[in-house]
Amino acid sequence: VETPIHIPVLLEEVLHHLNPRPGAVYVDATVNGGGHTGALLDASAPQGKVIGIDRDADLIAALTRRRFDDVAAGRLLLRHASFSHLAEILADAGIGPVDGVLFDLGLSSHHLDRSGRGFSFSENEPLDMRFDPADPSSVSASEVIAETPLPELVDIFHRYGEERYASRIARTVIARRRNQPIESTRALLSAVEQSLPAKVRWRASRNAARIFQALRIAANRELAEIERALPQAFDALRPGGRLVVISFHSLEDRMVKLFFREQKQLGTAKLLAKKPIQPSDEEVRINPRAGSAKLRALEKLRQPGETTMEEVRR
């Protein structure tokens, strides 16, 4: 199956903040269909490099075919892995400090429309929702539902989904799973619908979207992966290198905000924008998925723990 092209979010703003130059080296930690990577390869031509990472093996295989010339020329290195292994990936590839790292978090059009792994409820599909179902340590969304005790399930729906009926939905799910495992998108959608007060049931798809998002974040342990990856990305930058993160969830953005603030306070980085950058109305009209995007960017000044000249003089 051809992977549908995912429209890159905030492309101009990403390029503005990474400021790619000929010969420079970039990491695209969430390469997907290569929307941002294609632009980085163009801007860093003829010698520049991009190391593209994705946790989804199908996407890495499809992109290897599509950009075979760049791969063969050694300008595009593609790796199937989680970005939480960033340091190891760069060390194995013998890549030294890089000029920029990009994270464009979350899921893509491919996952929603083509993967068949139950990321959306528009079709009846197995409830898997893993970016990397082959990872032996991973847990599918249906396993999360089968094995999570009530209080934790409420917490997942509440925190990751920001769902006001979290508790009612979790109780229905638990009651139903006793009789029959919830293993399809339709079974989960029906549990969500049945949990809602009758007067709001007509708009159950909004609640379902939040519950699906929550389970995806839990199944992929998305917040923990980001928390592990950010310091590695910062470490990988040369002084003057840039880190750009696009997030789609308030908990993700909060984590990025706190990490960036910490670097600023340590004097190891400067923020390139005080407030997160959001897409224009025009971009959201063309690409509604961009709606919740927030971009933050920093420039590294020095490695943490390195003494500055100013401190030497004191």
Under the rule (CB under 6 A), what is the footprint of ligand SAM?
6, 8, 30, 32-36, 53-56, 59, 82-84, 104, 106-108, 131, 225
CB-wise, 129 or 189, nearer to ligand SAM? 129
CB of 134 to ligand SAM, least distance (A): 13
270-300 residues labelled b (16+ CB within 10 A) or e (exposed)? eebeeebbbbeeebbeebebbebbbbbbbbb
CB-wise, 10 or 191, nearer to ligand SAM? 10
Query: Helices in 51-203 by DSSP H: which ranges?
Result: 57-66, 68-72, 86-93, 109-113, 141-147, 150-155, 166-179, 185-195
- Alpha-carbon distance of 164 to 160, in angstroms, equals 11
CB of 130 to ligand SAM, least distance (A): 10
Helices 222-236, 86-93: crossing angle, 10 deg rounding = 40
CB of 132 to ligand SAM, least distance (A): 8
Closest by CA to 166, choosing from 176, 175, 155, is 155
CB-wise, 35 or 118, nearer to ligand SAM? 35
- How would you classify the pairing of strands 25-28 and 49-54? parallel
CB of 216 to ligand SAM, least distance (A): 10
**Structure letter (DSSP) for residue 249:** S
Compute the residue count for the chain.
314
CB of 56 to ligand SAM, least distance (A): 4
CB of 52 to ligand SAM, least distance (A): 9
CB-wise, 172 or 247, nearer to ligand SAM? 247
CB-wise, 84 or 207, nearer to ligand SAM? 84
CB-wise, 106 or 241, nearer to ligand SAM? 106
> Which residue minimizes CB distance to ligand SAM?
35
The torsion defined by the Cα of 286, 58, 221 and 205, in degrees rounded to 10, comes to 40
